[in-house]
Structure 1
């Protein structure tokens, strides 16, 4: 990707961000090409150069992995509801695609025990993502003793960001350098700016960013992420990115089953305490924010 024109990466990032935010929408090639401001033929070529997949392949994979995430975490919804909300045209289309991709029926996945679901979450890493990082070297005893979680509300967060591979820490550090330079060039950074990383495990995507105020005007050639405000489970970590994955795994295993909350979205984000240019990423304390919602009483 480093040898590709910056314009290709920027326009593809814009489309990827749109896809992840609109999985249930009509995502035809012509529509996505218009967002990138390319012809459909050229867009398809550029998208594959940047992501390694055609737009259709990428969309199907994101819809499948998004649906698997919610089948595991949102048992109050039917499989059909999840399939349709993930963008599949019909239950039968979803059922065939799901079984072909994961080797298990969606209904079978739902019937797994909590431990079996954790094992399934690990196995998702054998596909095109790196979700296995959630459990690689994971110590249940350590996290059972040390996991501390608080719940708080947060307003909508807006950030300038760059897309990076989730499983490559060195690229994440370089990504923060790039986005910091970008906001400094356009004088977007201020005392209230925060260094933020959006983690999309099922998209194998890390978005390194810096928050900005809603009133600030932005140039057209920057990528912007908007994270919906609401209620979050928050925990603190320090160490390599693997520590972040382990904390998320522990929240699924130990905290959620004992509390009256459920996962709301498939992404999480972290806010870094210090500027990653001044201190190595693995030495910075980070707050991890997991979007949650209250489980309604029956």
Structure 2
């Protein structure tokens, strides 16, 4: 590795280490007002440097991150205890008054704290940004290359029941004895596109509005270590004759965002199941795991964005 590249990697690693310390400080002091001056002092950066580097590495600015995390923690508290006053919850997360807390809460969640508690549904909850270290099997040499680190922010969301139309096939999943999903999933999507295009031709001009695409892993269908995988999109009123319907019930999910080539998703999923989930207070449940893509998703693009939705239940429920 060239000397200039080694220096650049060393700077990148130092920045990631410092950001980790900033995140740790924030996560342990959410009950405080947490001014930018306080955090900058702890980070040994100026306010401008802190905001610039933090946003570049995590994708969110410091003030926005703290606000969303405080409100998410407050929302969890509202659901976990039906007796705590809204004012007590507000003060516990560093808000000065119930009025300012309720105003911020409604701006973020679209409803008041009392309405959120009454609904009793965990949704829109931001979890602490987490550092995903590269798998030891993928690290060939030090120093780490740029891009080997990743910060990810998990969300907890509720999705009402909905209907899909798609094409199904069988795959070996992530923890199968023969995990061939990376080879077979593209062929299932290719067949979905072929069948959909036939429908478009037979019905004349197709729908001009791009629809979200859903890859669905049916963990209820496990048979001989094989899973059913659906390539699909949301149904319109008229089900395409070449595609089959799939009903997805209402469910709470943990949402894992992924930006980059789709081949890199595998290591993130391993981290989600092996590291994040056992410590989260949630547990996975059998059902329908969702991969949500835009209609023009480019699987080999470094800028491609998709989300993996894993069905969960709360241990406190």
TM-score range, shorter chain: 0.3 to 0.5
Q: Higher Cα Rg: structure 1 or 2? A: 2
Greater RCO (CA < 8 Å, at least 6 residues apart) = 1
Greater share of helix: 1
Greater share of strand: 2
TM-score normalized by the length of structure 1: 0.46
TM-score normalized by the length of structure 2: 0.43
